[in-house]
Amino acid sequence: MIPVIIMSGFCTAIARIIGQTEVKGSIGYYLLQAGNGGFSIMVAVLAAGIGYSIAGKAAIAPGLMGGFLSTVVNASFLGGILAGLVAGMITIFFNNLNLPKSIKSMVPLVVIPLVGGLVEVGLIMYVVGPPLAALTQAAVGFFMGMNHASRFVLGFMLGCMTGFDMGGPVNKMAFAIVTAFASAGVWGPAAGKNVAAMAPPLGIAMSVLIFSPKKYSKADRENAKAAIIMSMCQVTEGALPFAFDDPLRVVPAAMIGSGLGHGLILSWGVTVPLLSGGIFTLPVASNPFLYLAALLIAAATTGVILSILKPKRKEEEKEEKVHDLDISIEM
């Protein structure tokens, strides 16, 4: 699902930069159509991927059907997850039946798509689709109705999750929430997530290279230079070498910085139609200046906190000079 979102987001972003999206036949128009088309199938791709991961190729077709129907009834991300799970379970059920070889060869091509498709239609369109659609709309409506302070709190919580394990399971939970909003057409959390993901490595680099360089080793300074590049590419894992070395100081600093950045983005109402892309998403932000400001504030906050918490480095022991020894063995 993520590559589809990235591909669609860049098509949409480039279309907005080029302009003339309303002029049929123009490059901007066709790029925007491509981006919208990609967004329309992303939930179907998610459902197919989940079904495939559970039961293999045979689950792809019913997963696609259920995911597409989830988009039709506005069940969105939650409906897609359920559709993928159902496709996988139906496929496993039929694959485990003891059937004659002549019939069993038809199961993946005929029986599973037929039965799986019918089950997905009944389940998504009539049973769970409407309640999930109502839940999705309620969540979006609740978010849109939040005031600036409430949005900041939500963003701060999501940002702290992003900065906590820097690409680990808690980070992925926050990403799932942001993706659910994006699939419903709400792109503010996506902008906040991008800033929250870039802030830790950039903030740590600021601490190492600018705020308190004497507290770090030469190796740290080399890692910090690499962290800047990884930050610009939105690779939060660039902060991991420092987190592994000093988690009690690095992790809280990263969490506060990421939380602040995400909170500012939501309270300022900045949006970005991409779930990743690093600094390259700046041109397509609804307000590039505030987007960049939130990133710098978040990174600087992490850098300042870490510089304050980091103890002074002990003087390195001078390396003892080792002289070459001429050893001669007389025979």
The per-residue pLDDT for range 83-110, each reduced to its tens digit, is 999 999 999 998 888 878 778 888 888 8
The per-residue pLDDT for range 30-57, each reduced to its tens digit, is 988 998 888 888 889 999 999 999 999 9
Separation CA 175–CA 258 (nearest Å): 13
Q: Is the pTM of this model over 0.75?
A: no
At residue 83, the pLDDT reads 92
Query: Cβ(159)–Cβ(256) under 8 Å?
Result: no
Distances (CA, A) of 38 to 3, 33, 168, 194: 10, 9, 27, 20
Q: At what angle do helices 169-183 and 188-206 cross, to 10 degrees?
A: 150
Q: What angle do CA 214, 219, 224 make, to 5 degrees?
A: 80
Separation CA 54–CA 185 (nearest Å): 28
Nearest to 179 by CA among 77, 281, 329, 282: 77
Given pLDDT bands bounded at 50, 70 and 90, which one contains residue 304? very high
Phi/psi at 220 (nearest 5 deg)?
-60, -40
The DSSP letter of residue 243 is H
pLDDT (mean) for 66-83 = 87
First to last CA, the chain: 75
Separation CA 32–CA 28 (nearest Å): 6
Given pLDDT bands bounded at 50, 70 and 90, which one contains residue 317? very low
Separation CA 46–CA 30 (nearest Å): 24
Given pLDDT bands bounded at 50, 70 and 90, which one contains residue 203? very high
Query: Cβ(302)–Cβ(257) under 8 Å?
Result: yes
- Is residue 319 over pLDDT 50? no
Burial of residue 44 (CB within 10 Å: 0-12, 13-18, 19+) is: buried
Q: What mean pLDDT, rounded, does the chain reach?
A: 86
Q: Between 269 and 185, where is the model more confident?
A: 269
- Is residue 70 over pLDDT 80? yes
The per-residue pLDDT for range 151-202, each reduced to its tens digit, is 999 999 999 999 998 877 788 778 878 888 887 788 899 999 999 999 999 9
Phi/psi at 280 (nearest 5 deg)?
-70, -10
pLDDT (mean) for 314-328 = 48
